[in-house]
Structure 1
Amino acid sequence: MEIRRYIEEDRPFLRTLYLASRKANWHWLNASAWQLEDFDQIIIGERVWVAIEQGYRVGFAAVSVNDNFLHSLYIAPGWQRRGIGSALLDEVETTFTSIGALKCLSANTAALAFYLQRGWHRVSSGESELGSYELMHLRK
Structure 2
Amino acid sequence: MLIRSFEEHDRLPLRDLYLQTRLHAWTWLDSSAWRPEDFDSVTKDEQIWVAEEDGELLGFASVWVVDDFLHSLYVAPAHQGKRVGKALLEKVQAEFVAHGTLKCLVKNVSAFEFYQRHGWLVESRGDSEDGEYYLMGFGG
> Match for residue 55 of structure 1?
55
Superposition RMSD on alpha carbons, in Å?
0.6
Question: 1:86-120, CA deviations, whole angstroms, 9 ceiling, x for partnerless residues?
Answer: 00001000111111000000000000000000000
> Which stretches in structure 2 are left out of the alignment for 5+ residues?
none
Code of the residue aligned with 1:88 in structure 2: it is L
Code of the residue aligned with 2:56 in structure 1: it is Y
Task: For residue 88 of structure 1, give the secondary structure of its aligned residue in structure 2.
Answer: helix
CA distance in 2, matches of 1:108, 1:36: 21
CA distance in 1, matches of 2:84, 2:131: 26
CA distance in 1, matches of 2:54, 2:81: 16
CA distance in 1, matches of 2:99, 2:22: 27
Q: Following TM superposition, by how much is the alpha carbon of 1:139 offset from its aligned partner in structure 2, in angstroms? A: 1.4
CA distance in 2, matches of 1:14, 1:97: 26
> Match for residue 25 of structure 1?
25
> Match for residue 82 of structure 1?
82
Question: 1:47-75, CA deviations, whole angstroms, 9 ceiling, x for partnerless residues?
Answer: 00000023200100000111000000000
CA distance in 2, matches of 1:55, 1:8: 15
Q: Does 1:133 align with 2:133?
A: yes
> Which stretches in structure 1 are left out of the alignment for 5+ residues?
none
Code of the residue aligned with 2:129 in structure 1: it is E
CA distance in 1, matches of 2:7, 2:56: 14
CA distance in 2, matches of 1:53, 1:84: 10
Code of the residue aligned with 1:113 in structure 2: it is E
Instruction: Give the TM-score normalised by the residue count of structure 2.
Output: 0.98
> Match for residue 70 of structure 2?
70
> Match for residue 111 of structure 1?
111
Task: For residue 52 of structure 1, give the secondary structure of its aligned residue in structure 2.
Answer: strand
Aligned positions, number:
140
